[in-house]
Structure 1
Amino acid sequence: IPSIGLFIAIVFGLADIAKSWRVAPSLSAAMAGVVLLVLATLTNAQIHRWRDSFTLFEHTLAVTPPNRLIEYDLGLAFAESNRYDEAAPHFEKALQIRPNDYKSLLYMGISRFYQGRLPEAIEYAQAAIRSQADSARAHDLLGMTLAKQNRNEAALDEMRRAVELAPKDADIRNDLGLALAQLGRIPEAIDEFHEAVRLAPDKAAAAHANLGWALLGSGKARESIPEFEAALHLQPESKAAADGLRQAQAQLSPQR
């Protein structure tokens, strides 16, 4: 597609040349064949470059000066594929170009979180909050990271702030539920998981599974089973939901 204009121009140009030079029909056909072969080769090379986001962005970076947006977009493509080791260097390069870029700070923090580099994740989350104080996602990231360090009360404060800023964000509700469960505040955790499911019923596999585990841990095995089944319907490969369902069924089997 990117070469179609060039293709049309060359085809009509060849026709004009053939007429003005009075080229024999057989030679015109041969010339056209050569041009088509060249264009096919060039098009194949472009398709190879553009076959996915990674190759498109990498090609763009190779032929342009340092570009913050492309570095960020390539980092985001890696992060969305859970390739955080590859994502982080691109967010770092984006931040070298614009040190206070909110999105790059946030995703640099997310990358460090999943890399297990928690002190750095906290620094980037705090920097993202300084850059954009009303960022629910940055507060949520900070809360999740603090929870990983067992700084549970501080984590809870950050997650509650995130919920205040984005009350309809199902992922943040789910994260708050996890923080509450870690503190042993199971009834409150169940409420948050229920709310996460209500807010995004078609994308709530994790919330269904977490709700199932919270109910199971509260001695409500029968109530937990529909939650695990709902999680598996949305995400059949969910090991957490499959394990929970087996445990719930095992607890109920003597009663049947």
Structure 2
Amino acid sequence: MKCPECGIENNESQKYCGNCGGPLGGASISDLFEAAFKSEARGDLSGALEAYDRLLEKRPKSQEILFKMGMVCYDLGHLDDAIVKFRKVIEFNPRFIYAHFRLGLCLYHKCMIEEAIKSYSDALSTAPDFVPALLQLGIANFHIGRLEKAIGAFRKVSESSCSYTLAHYYLGLAYERMRRTDEAIQQFTLVSKENPKDPSTHYHLGILYKRKFMRDAAIGEFMRAHQLDPSDEATIEELSSLQQK
């Protein structure tokens, strides 16, 4: 019997292909799910998508199958297909928060920022404390310059029980852009305690201390940034400028 997945011939008595592990003959729902999971586990996303597609033929209104297909399409970079799948899930179940969230990620990567913001907001309307959606909502608003809204989202993340250091980093960026220097320093200092090896954090601290005319502190931060990333030209320029004064 020829495997429908890889085309290799197998014995008639075999239930699964000896080459790819795919189901042979009239595959059941459980067989197809197993084939999809095995394909994903070995990194064969195209094979997984084929198995899910066959599952969808059997269960065309299955939210689970549509969602999994959307996830695989997203991982393959097929964003348009993923968007179609996630929207179909939402059509069947408007309260499926992960579908709204994943749809938002797809739209954001398509530079459809307003649409992404709506998707994150839709997820949060059902689950207001869903931290991944809050973080991405903040990033999307930051992307288009809505700094107050971005700060509001990042604050909610930073005040939650989750240890999302990235929220503090983006808070620092937003405060820096708004010239709220002391608040920016506070956030970047928190980030540097969590990860002292991030050159970008030290660079921004250097810029902020320079803004406050704290020359020695600025040089110290730029030196740390330079040690961590010796090739960064912006850091070299800032350090050289301060050391010459």
Both structures adopt the same fold (TM-score exceeding 0.5) = yes
Alignment of 1:69-108 (within 5 A): 69-76=64-71, 79=74, 84-85=79-80, 87-108=82-103
Could you tell which deviates more after superposition, 107-116 or 121-130? 107-116
How far is 1:132 from its partner? Answer: 0.2
- Mark the CA change 1:77 to 1:171 in structure 2 (over 3 Å): closer, same or farther: farther
| Residue of structure 1 in register with 2:155 after alignment | 160
Which residue number in structure 2 is paired with residue 246 of structure 1? 236
**TM-align CA RMSD:** 3.7
Q: Deviations over 1:22-51 (max 9, x none)?
A: xxxxxxxxxxxx978x98x93334489824
Separation in 1, partners of 2:77, 2:192: 24
Cα distance between partner residues in 2 of 1:213 and 1:89: 40
Assess if the C-alpha contact under 8 Å between 1:128 and 1:138 holds in 2. yes
CA distance in 1, matches of 2:49, 2:21: 13
Alpha-carbon distance, 1:77 to partner: 5.0
Query: Does the 8 A contact of 1:190 with 1:215 survive in 2?
Result: no
Larger radius of gyration: 1
Instruction: Point out where structure 1 has 5 or more consecutive residues left out of the alignment.
Output: 1-33, 234-240
Residues 134-190 of structure 1, C-alpha deviations (whole Å, 9 max, x = no match): 122222222222223322222222221222224521122222222222212233223
Distance 1:55 1:126, change over 3 A: same
TM-score (norm 1): 0.65
Answer yes or no: is the 8 Å Cα contact 1:129–1:135 preserved in 2: yes
Identity of aligned residues (%): 17
Q: Distance in 2 between matches of 1:177 and 1:82?
A: 31
Structure 1 residue 246: Cα displacement: 3.3
Q: Paired residue for 2:19?
A: 44
Q: What displacement does 1:84 show?
A: 4.6
Task: Give, as a single letter, the amino acid of the residue that structure 1 aligns with 2:18.
Answer: T
Aligned to 1:111: 106
Whose helix proportion is higher, 1 or 2?
1
TM-score by length of 2: 0.67
Over 3 Å counting, the alpha-carbon distance change for 1:242 and 1:143 in structure 2 is: same
Paired residue for 1:216? 207
Q: Name which of 157, 169, 181 aligns with 1:174.
A: 169
Secondary structure at 2:17's aligned position in 1? helix
Name the structure 1 match of 2:124. 129
User: Distance in 2 between the 1:35 and 1:167 partners?
Assistant: 50
Once the two structures are superposed, residues 116-149 of structure 1 have per-residue CA deviations (whole angstroms, 9 ceiling, x without a partner) of 2122112111111111011222222222222233
Structure-2 separation of matches of 1:63 and 1:82: 21
